[in-house]
Structure 1
Amino acid sequence: MKILLTGANGQLGRCLQDLFPKTAEVLALGSAELDISNQSAVNTQVEQFQPAIIINAAAYTEVDKAESEPEQAAAVNTYAPAYLASAAKKVGAKFVHVSTDYVFEGNGTQPYIESDAVYPLGVYGKTKLAGELLVQSILPEAIIIRTAWVFSEYGNNFVKTMLRLAKDRPELGIVGDQLGCPTYAGDIAKVILATLENSAPGGIYHFCGDEQVTWAEFASAIFQQAEQQGKLAKQPKVNAITTADFPTPAKRPAYSVMSTAKISEFTAASPWRQSLATVLSRLD
């Protein structure tokens, strides 16, 4: 089985490479090896490799920076997935694309299901939604997995940022009025492989953590487990602040909890507290 992976150096890309079956022939490409916003380059690479599966784990994920770089965000989040979907269609490859909870406005009170109305607040969410729509129009059988609040032992993420800040500050102000579900990239990797192994029907699926929390509550969980594992000498005090107290260039959904009922046919929701303990044990 030939698998072409884009975004090879990101959190999800690294976790996927840890889990791919040894029998698979994997071509894992980062942005230096393949510019996925270059349609000609994408077509050439796919035609040469002839993959059975293409997994797009690449994305422009700098939510605030996207507000001042809309063209760069669109190149990676909107047009690149379309190029990959078109190339997959030409060679008859299965295609998996990863999207985000930021396609929602965040005014809900019940976990979002896949058919709920979308209304992204910022450039990042808008470009990701546009990418979803293009992929579906080109390759309806593509699998699109929306996920949220991703963390892992790799790359830059909220867990690593909190640990770094905790070593220098006795108190931290963390946003406490945004609700979401932390999700371990390794669990996303597992669900991607599960949907492929089980020949999941094409369409959109939600996959995220099994318990909703605020960023402040997520931070407290990180500090508690880090102290228990001896990664922190002492937990800093967490002061929950409002979104208004911490203005950012991009607006974020206040509520982006997603229902994993649809994808539960293939896997359970990410047990994020358990996965957090595993991630912390792997960090220096």
Structure 2
Amino acid sequence: MTILLTGASGLVGSAFARAAKRRGHRVIGLVGAFPGAIDGLEVKQQVDLSNDAATTAAVLDAFPEAIVNCAAVSVPEQCDANPALAQALNVTLPTTLARLAHHVSARFVHLSSEQVFDGTHSKPYAATDALAPINLYGRQKIESERAVHAAAADFAVTIRAPLLMGNSVGGQRSNHERLFADWAAGRTPRLFTDEFRQTCTAENLAEVMVELCERQDLRGIFHWAGTELVSRYALGVAIREHFKLTATQAPITAVARAEVPEAARKRQARLALNISPLAGKLKTRPQAVAEQLAELNVPPPCRAWYLGLQ
């Protein structure tokens, strides 16, 4: 099928392009200013996705069988810094895409976030649990979900995703890539020992999203994540050990949320997701942390630093 992909240069978007190509689909990728090649795309188009008319023209020109939305301002601090742009990409864009999906009868796969929850539950969140975001990003994701399913109820599926691992096109977007950037620059990241996430890789999530393009019988909101809940600190240590770095070469400071109350106020303590409803319907399987680590590469911007340690 022909799939129109927004955010094709991002961590999930680029992974989706590769996964869709492997399954024989034709992917038209929309990017902003990204100049490089993206593996898996048959066509790459530069489109201002904050411009409704430009987005509409791109969709109608492609007339796709499926639309996949991976474009977002996904860092909460960046949403706070530029709320107008975040609103345009996190809410207005998916709303427009959903209306267009309904218009051209295309499957619509929308990417949302675990941050629609407040992180106070001791049990994994179900898709039907009450929403209680603690930041602007989470509020925008809720608004986008409601708009998408109102505009394209017969065509749309939303995936709420967790903290993501993986190898981005530029080597600067994912969790391990940001850690490497700190270490290469001589900085010591501070990671919470009591902040827990159920991480998965962008590649694994992309496989799920490709399956959902093909499974038009699945509609509504679902959760996807890995199989293990792990603290930010434990994950950082696991990444360091995977790349055979020492604590001197790649230092990490362990901190508790109570030590940094201002930061903790804007971050959820525990985000575990109930993935059983979707995992029971797909061929793609959720991964343990060890499987996720095995997929990670040394980020290109940090390779010289890393090789210098060997």
**1:147 counterpart residue number:** 161
Do structure 1's residue 205 and structure 2's residue 222 form an aligned pair?
yes
Q: Which moved more, 1:32-41 or 1:131-140?
A: 32-41
Q: Which moved more, 1:49-58 or 1:273-282?
A: 273-282
**2:61 counterpart residue number:** 48
Give the whole-Å Cα distance in 2 for the aligned partners of 1:161 and 1:215.
Answer: 13
**1:11 counterpart residue number:** 11
Choose the corresponding residue for 2:259, options 224, 245, 260.
245
**1:63 counterpart residue number:** 76
Give the whole-Å Cα distance in 1 for the aligned partners of 2:132 and 2:57.
Answer: 35
Give the whole-Å Cα distance in 1 for the aligned partners of 2:276 and 2:264.
Answer: 33
Q: Is the 8 A contact 1:177 1:254 kept in 2?
A: yes
Give the whole-Å Cα distance in 2 for the aligned partners of 1:172 and 1:11.
Answer: 21
Q: Match for 2:31: what amino acid?
A: G
Q: Which moved more, 1:235-244 or 1:5-14?
A: 235-244
Q: Is the 8 A contact 1:167 1:232 kept in 2?
A: no
Give the whole-Å Cα distance in 2 for the aligned partners of 1:59 and 1:35.
Answer: 13
Give 1:244 shift: 4.2
Q: Which moved more, 1:186-195 or 1:273-282?
A: 273-282
Tell me the percent identity. 27
Give the whole-Å Cα distance in 1 for the aligned partners of 2:3 and 2:212.
Answer: 14
**1:94 counterpart residue number:** 107
Do structure 1's residue 39 and structure 2's residue 52 form an aligned pair?
yes
Residue pairs, 1:190-229, within 5 angstroms: 190-227=207-244
Q: Deviations over 1:26-50 (max 9, x none)?
A: 2111124122232222221111111
Q: Deviations over 1:19-68 (max 9, x none)?
A: 12364322111124122232222221111111000000111112112123
**2:205 counterpart residue number:** 188
Q: Is the 8 A contact 1:9 1:30 kept in 2?
A: yes
Give the whole-Å Cα distance in 1 for the aligned partners of 2:235 and 2:264.
Answer: 22
Q: How big is the alpha-carbon RMSD for the aligned residues of Structure 1 and Structure 2?
A: 2.2
The runs of 5 or more residues in structure 2 that have no matched partner are: 34-45, 304-310
SS at match of 2:4: strand
